[in-house]
Amino acid sequence: MLRVGLTGGVSCGKSTVARMMEERGAFLIQADHIAHDLMKPGQPVYNEVVKRFGREIVNVNYGGTIDRNKLADAAFGGGRIAELNQIVHPAVIQRQEEWMAEIGRKVPEGIAVVEAALIVEAGVKNRFDKLVVVTCPEDEKVRRFVSRSAAGEQSRRLDADSAEREIRRRMTAQLPDSEKVRLADFVVDNSGFREHTEAQVEKVMEELRTLAAVT
């Protein structure tokens, strides 16, 4: 089985590329979805995050779930992003490893893709056989994030100014695209039309299928 890490900066279109890879036969798991599950009420990660960051981050109107905007304010604004990552990342990585092991047992010739924003920053690049990096210009990332924030769930909706501040704050916690590209085995430029991205993904998948067949 081929273990593939898929990463890139915030709002670069990682999830779009991930879905394209899945449509072409790859197995997919997304770190953000894992983290959401781990931070549901009653989970050990949820309990530890609330313990460290306080009940102020809990949204009492939504079943005691963690308010991600408030958590982001506490983590990024308070200079505590490393502390949050130390709680969440080990559990996320463990879940990813368990999932990839399961895929390997079931489909030895498969391609297992893990989509995660901080593969390089978290120092887990070497857990993968290949690294795919998705890129797009910074101004496009900002535009996409602002648009998505305005159309999101009511509990997470931000006005344009707040959304732009938030994405720029998140960018400071991530390496620039140039650093990730330097470490990449494959690069997908997601700044143009969907058809352009699709063509790149198809080419990447062709090479990954070849590698998976001989792994």
Domain containing residue 67: CATH number: 3.40.50.300
Alpha carbons 157 and 146: distance in angstroms, whole number: 10
Q: In what order do the strands lie in the sheet with 2-8?
A: 27-30, 111-115, 2-8, 130-135, 186-189
Number of domains in the chain: 1
Q: Which one-letter amino acid corresponds to residue 54?
A: G
Q: How far is it, in rounded angstroms, from Cα 111 to Cα 114?
A: 10
Backbone angles phi, psi at 186, to 5 degrees: -140, 145
Contact 172, 9 (CB under 8 A): no
This prediction's pTM: 0.89
Q: What is the pLDDT of residue 36?
A: 94
Q: For residue 66, what are the domain limits?
A: 2-214
Query: What single-letter amino acid sits at 170?
Result: R
Contact 191, 140 (CB under 8 A): yes
pLDDT of residue 178: 92
The pLDDT tens digits for 100-142 are 999 999 999 999 999 999 999 999 999 999 999 999 998 888 8
Q: Quote the longest CA-to-CA distance of the chain.
A: 52
- The predicted-structure confidence for 140-158, as pLDDT tens digits, reads as follows 888 888 777 765 544 455 6
